[in-house]
Amino acid sequence: MPRTLRMSSLRLAAAVVAAFALLRGAAAAPAPPPPSRAELVGLVTRTLKSWETGDAAAFTSAFTDDAVWAYPGGRIRRGSFADTFNGLCARKRDIRIYVGDFIVQGAEFAVQYQFAATDRKTGRRWAVGTGVRGMIRDGRIAVIKEYWDEHIPVGQAANTLPLDEGEIFPAPASVVMTGERIN
């Protein structure tokens, strides 16, 4: 092999080794610390409470650009958050959010809360307890997974279930778990 080709190969090999060393060093860089409990609780609470004010910008700005919001019946990306938020606010009024206790572990959280609203067409009020699990990244919400019983607001609209607004439980107090309710 000619000397110039050998030198070029050696330089190339040295550059590759140096590049891998840099990448290994960058990969080993410590991750930013998770938010404090107070920061995380404040961010999530403000985001949930934005439903009360109907502020779609406050809601959507709390999420990372690649955020996912999953809830019974769907999963959407941040680009659809404002439309979903505004659509619900167009159908509901007098929205109230009752936030319960948080469980925080690093950048992950779980919180129970109740979403109460009045339907603009029917004038009927409903309140459904929900649980949320999520993750914070770079000071914003990256994932939010929401869980609730879809039958609760339907039963409240039909006057077969009480409202129990302000009580943060998955279902109104009169719902008794029976064999017929478990599938």
pLDDT digits (tens, 9 = 90+) for 60-78: 999 999 999 999 888 999 9
Spatial distance between the Cα atoms of 79 and 68, rounded to a whole number of angstroms: 10
**41 confidence band (pLDDT: 50, 70, 90):** very high
> What is each CA distance from 147 to 15, 71, 131, 135, in whole angstroms?
51, 6, 5, 15
Q: What is the pLDDT of residue 64?
A: 97
Running DSSP on this structure, what letter comes out for residue 8?
H
What is the reported pTM? 0.78
Q: What is the pLDDT of residue 160?
A: 85
**162 confidence band (pLDDT: 50, 70, 90):** confident
Is 90 exceeded by the pLDDT of residue 89?
Answer: yes
- Cβ atoms 109, 42 nearer than 8 A: no
Is 80 exceeded by the pLDDT of residue 165?
Answer: yes
Q: What is the pLDDT of residue 155?
A: 85
